[in-house]
Structure 1
């Protein structure tokens, strides 16, 4: 049975979930930013809104804590989701079933953003923070942060540590390392011809793309942590035409920067057979986020705090395949602790849910990290 505080949290978070905010819907994302801005204004928190560009939503920076020149503690959340408009009504309505709260983006990552905002406001009101506090809400993480990476890195360079509110893993574990991510688009051009009377004159771009796809997929090396995925493909003009064009996308995940560079060079260097032109664009989108000694110390402090004040055994995932904005700050050498958001499962699916019982303890953990990190 949810406690009264859990019931209030579910009601507040449900209001966020009622605002659909896929990355490509700038208006929806900006309505989410409005909700955060209104709550921060009501608490007297300094804020800076940065207009979106390239058709994407705004970003919002909140600042609190002591006004000193000391490096800040930086919290990172994104308010965009992967679920298209209409998901709320059609496929994933907001609802509670036992300890589960369902809704688009509740796990990844509106739940984590909401609880972290409450922790940030509480830390600001309490006045116990040792460092300045900065909270950045972004609008485009789900597509690789193309317009906000520079802002994340600029704020990261001035931070003592970074706390990322991506969802918890496997029963509440935090994340201390992530693979790097590469994204590529491949265009194969052949020669069109009538599929019946002039078949031999054609050069089938789809067939050549199929050969290249096998080459790309063959780069996957599980022991080394390298994966390649061709996730989208399109080609051809009509059923009775030898295809002139074919396009496909490539997702690359790697553990080290050197592997990322080598794999990227190989993909960018794909060559077509005679009479085919191959053009490849893209590159590494997120650098690898390795578990350094500094990250280990930050995790140890969070784990000790969770045990002493919350009675929780805070486990860790030292390497996960998914990327986040924490990749950018970790690559700058800033101690970064990820996966501090809500617990649950089903990210990016139509059965996405958050565990209501995880809200209060993880909100408290975030607050105490903001108040006690030296």
Structure 2
């Protein structure tokens, strides 16, 4: 009896791997379709169009799909592969929004050169979405699931998931495992821990005056902002993994006026060992300090993404075992980039990130995806699902 079960399992394994092995061109075709759709954060129509293209492929394979509207952002895509309906699920995750503005896809559409695909969001993370869709289809066609397999694609990850974080955490709570298909590292490695991020928007009010006639009567908001930037950047501490970067500034009206107003946006990164509330309190103290007499600073908004706690050794080993059987080796690594995997790990769901095809230069015009990694990375995820206890 045991021999029969093992033989059946071996045959199932072969069917899954063989089917995925034949899908390279179909994966590329679907990738081209979704890359050529602008889906920047808050582009409701674009995000929904990407979701619709993915749904068409899933429903054609018999996978039930539901859209959950998120006004102002698009939709969440929920799907479940036919199979066991009870028990803790395995969750395949991704996000459909990108960092690129409308018109980018028309200006530089999908193209392939020397085995690499280029285009807006091709690595981060439309290739991962496509890969997850094909993994789900493989199980829909071949069977073999021991637990529910669900897909969950979000719509505002690139701007901190403020509109969807509660739903992401609710979806992940109690999951058997979460596999988040952010791009594999350039090295081919997976991501097993991440920093959290915090974006703080703040402004400074000064006192306007003529810069030549009445300079002393003014109080420069720009000078105050500059002093605050220096103090905020001094929060960077390599020993604790905290980094601070004021990446956006605006201020003043004309050169010959002492600036009455200035504003900026601060990006903070931190590890799971850092208390984000304490960090925000330090930022607020710097912003509100009267760094130039008669100026006032205030925080106008903040949003954060949780750090990803380390992946359990067992989940990483499960993926590595399958990858090794396919002929490639991977390790887990830490990254300073934040992702929704931080949210899923924060509710106790065993989470592995960076399972998507290998890519690089995300958020730039040089962004690329290594097409040769599509099939083996899909096969490795399929084996991790198949072999999960």
With the shorter chain as reference, the TM-score category is over 0.9
2:166 to 142, 150, 165: 150
RMSD, matched Cα: 1.6
Within the alignment, does 1:305 sit opposite 2:322 as a pair? yes
Aligned to 2:295: 276
Within the alignment, does 1:63 sit opposite 2:63 as a pair? no
Aligned to 1:286: 305
Task: Give, in angstroms, the shift of residue 301 of structure 1.
Answer: 1.0
Within the alignment, does 1:9 sit opposite 2:9 as a pair? no
Aligned to 2:116: 100
Secondary structure, counterpart of 2:339 in structure 1 = coil
Range moving further from structure 2, 219-228 or 159-168: 219-228
| Distance in 1, Cα, partners of 2:241 & 2:350 | 23
Q: Which runs of 5+ in 2 are unaligned?
A: 1-20
Aligned to 1:132: 148
Within the alignment, does 1:52 sit opposite 2:70 as a pair? yes
Aligned to 2:361: 346
Secondary structure, counterpart of 1:220 in structure 2 = coil
Q: Which runs of 5+ in 1 are unaligned?
A: none
Aligned to 2:3: none
Q: Is the 8 A contact 2:62 2:140 kept in 1?
A: no
Residues 194-343 of structure 1: matches in 2 within 5 Å? 194-270=210-286, 271-273=289-291, 274-283=293-302, 285-291=304-310, 295-308=312-325, 310-317=326-333, 319-343=334-358
Task: Give, in angstroms, the shift of residue 8 of structure 1.
Answer: 3.5
* TM-score for both structures, normalised by structure 1: 0.94
Within the alignment, does 1:83 sit opposite 2:100 as a pair? yes
1:42 to 31, 56, 60: 60
Q: Is the 8 A contact 1:268 1:281 kept in 2?
A: no
Task: Give, in angstroms, the shift of residue 114 of structure 1.
Answer: 0.2
* TM-score for both structures, normalised by structure 2: 0.90
| Distance in 2, Cα, partners of 1:44 & 1:340 | 24
Aligned to 1:357: 372
| Distance in 2, Cα, partners of 1:117 & 1:100 | 20
> CA deviation digits over 1:79-102, x for unaligned, max 9?
111122222333x33211111111
| Distance in 2, Cα, partners of 1:50 & 1:158 | 21
Task: Give, in angstroms, the shift of residue 256 of structure 1.
Answer: 2.6
Within the alignment, does 1:20 sit opposite 2:3 as a pair? no
Task: Give, in angstroms, the shift of residue 283 of structure 1.
Answer: 4.6
